[in-house]
Amino acid sequence: MIIAVIGIGLIGGSLAISLKQNGFADRILGVDHNEQHGLKAIELGIIDEVVDFEAGIRQADLIILATPVNVIVRILPDVLDLVEDQIVVDVGSTKERITSSVQGHVRRGRFVATHPMAGTEYSGPEAAIPDLFGGKCTVIVDKEQSDPDALATVESMYDSLGMNIVYHQSHDHDIHTAYVSHISHISSFALALTVLEKEKNEKRIFELAGGGFSSTVRLAKSNPETWVPIFEQNRDYVLDVLDEHINTISRFRTLLIKKDFESFYKLIQQANQIRRIVN
């Protein structure tokens, strides 16, 4: 199978590496508006060839959209205008805006909307790594809107990567990711900013930063080009979660002010229930 990857960054590049390695793809075409990314991806052996947008779509059997989500929304209708029986899949972190952009499109059935829940805090083709996806979960949304053969091909692609496939409606996906992914990023950004601001007066503050701090601010290294469009598209749900999160933090604050350490203890015990979820 010939696969075109549009957007050769962390996710697109890592997919290219794994799908070539496991034999799912015979040939990988790369499309990227950034010429340096294309050259770098060839140099790193991630893709076989750089082609332009239209050539990528015409020549490929499967087209993977792995750009930032604002670009996916913009190009997806054009991609569907160009395809005949090829299959199009996106890997964006939001789903409602993306699926809405081709609602009612005559070729909607050729498109499968997905979100592989894997990544790192790095970006660009240099960030692409093998084995990013194995054992992780991928979401396919609104599967009833995809043609059965397109859906089956995309399912077999994720199977070949060793991913666990779950099915959602795009609406539920966006609410859930606001909770388990998007808010974590804002929390990390804010924590990093708070400590960086303090560093202006307390030069030695990072001397004591250990594993706990690193773990909590890891996501603060994530790049704005990827993340701002996600927050923009998922704004309403993220705002709801952010309000709840601020309320929860404020509960800890109130208990500290009142020196009510008994309730503080109980609140931590409740938070400890997360052990059930996270190993």
Burial of 195 (C-beta count, 10 Å sphere; 0-12/13-18/19+): middle
Distance between CA atoms of 130 and 46, rounded to whole angstroms? 10
Q: Closer to a second copy at the Cβ: 152 or 196?
A: 196
Query: What is the per-residue DSSP string for 168-211?
Result: E-HHHHHHHHIIIIIHHHHHHHHHHHHHHHHHTT-TTGGGG--H
Distance between CA atoms of 128 and 118, rounded to whole angstroms? 12
CB environment 161-183: b (16+ within 10 A), e (fewer): bebeeeebebeebbbebbeebbb
Q: Closer to a second copy at the Cβ: 74 or 198?
A: 198
Provide, rounded to whole angstroms, the least separation between the CB of residue 226 and a second copy: 10
Provide, rounded to whole angstroms, the least separation between the CB of residue 92 and a second copy: 14
Q: Closer to a second copy at the Cβ: 101 or 120?
A: 120
- The tokens of 64 are what? 């993977």
Provide, rounded to whole angstroms, the least separation between the CB of residue 88 and a second copy: 22
**Residue given tokens 């979960």 in the structure block:** 137
Q: Closer to a second copy at the Cβ: 13 or 229?
A: 229
Provide, rounded to whole angstroms, the least separation between the CB of residue 210 and a second copy: 4
Provide, rounded to whole angstroms, the least separation between the CB of residue 227 and a second copy: 6
Provide, rounded to whole angstroms, the least separation between the CB of residue 59 and a second copy: 33
Give how far the C-alpha of residue 131 lies from the chain's centroid of Cα atoms, to the nearest Å.
16
Q: Closer to a second copy at the Cβ: 26 or 250?
A: 250
Q: Closer to a second copy at the Cβ: 86 or 222?
A: 222
